[in-house]
A = this chain, B = another copy of it.
């Protein structure tokens, strides 16, 4: 059957050699460009054509890597959120420290990092876009809330905290520090010292919130 009379169709070019690398690179450039555009113009000013321009590819090329604008931006958002979630999880998993200490550090670190990233954090946390993209944002919040809920449960087991609704309080902790990030962002850029001051204040707020009232 190799000498089939329909051989014409058999020619075929193999998938790729270094072309694959080039494509991978283009994909990466597109994602980077998208992240940059979100940071500079927010979701509001993020057009596919702009991203293509900055990435140095044609508009149509973006659709060879992503099925839609929403998918592209979802991917960006997911990546950003996942990195932050990993940081939080890593701190939460540190050994030899109380749950309260780790919770404090996780909040402090998240806030300080977010304040440093400036407008990108704003877009990630609150700026609306597509409902598909928004779904990613909600998932990220849920991920954070779950991580903190787990930490709270640990604290309860260890006797550091009184019995309480860990799920709900995990969500409240997330709400508190996200708003704590957005609030200063609406003013202006902060210095390192200011960022740490905000992070510390919010972290103390969250730790205290889990302690039983008199």
Q: Kindly list chain B residues whose C-beta atoms are within 8 Å of the C-beta of A210.
A: 205, 208
- Determine the interface band of chain A, counting residues with CB < 8 A from chain B: 35 or more
Smallest CB–CB gap between A123 and chain B, Å? 11
Cβ-based interface call for A128 (8 A) = yes
For chain A, what secondary structure do more than half of its interface residues adopt (helix, strand, loop), or is it mixed?
Answer: helix
Q: Is the CB of A179 within 8 A of B183?
A: no
Q: A208-B209, A213-B211 are in contact. Are A171 and B145 (CB under 8 A)?
A: no
Cβ-based interface call for A129 (8 A) = yes
Number of chain copies forming the complex:
2
Cα distance A175–B205 in the bound complex, in angstroms: 12
Q: Kindly list chain B residues whose C-beta atoms are within 8 Å of the C-beta of A145.
A: 179, 183
Cβ-based interface call for A177 (8 A) = yes
Smallest CB–CB gap between A205 and chain B, Å? 5
Smallest CB–CB gap between A184 and chain B, Å? 7
Of B129, B164, B165, B173, which is within 8 A of A176 by CB? B173
Shortest Cβ-Cβ A-B pairs, 5 listed:
A128-B128, A175-B179, A209-B209, A171-B183, A176-B176
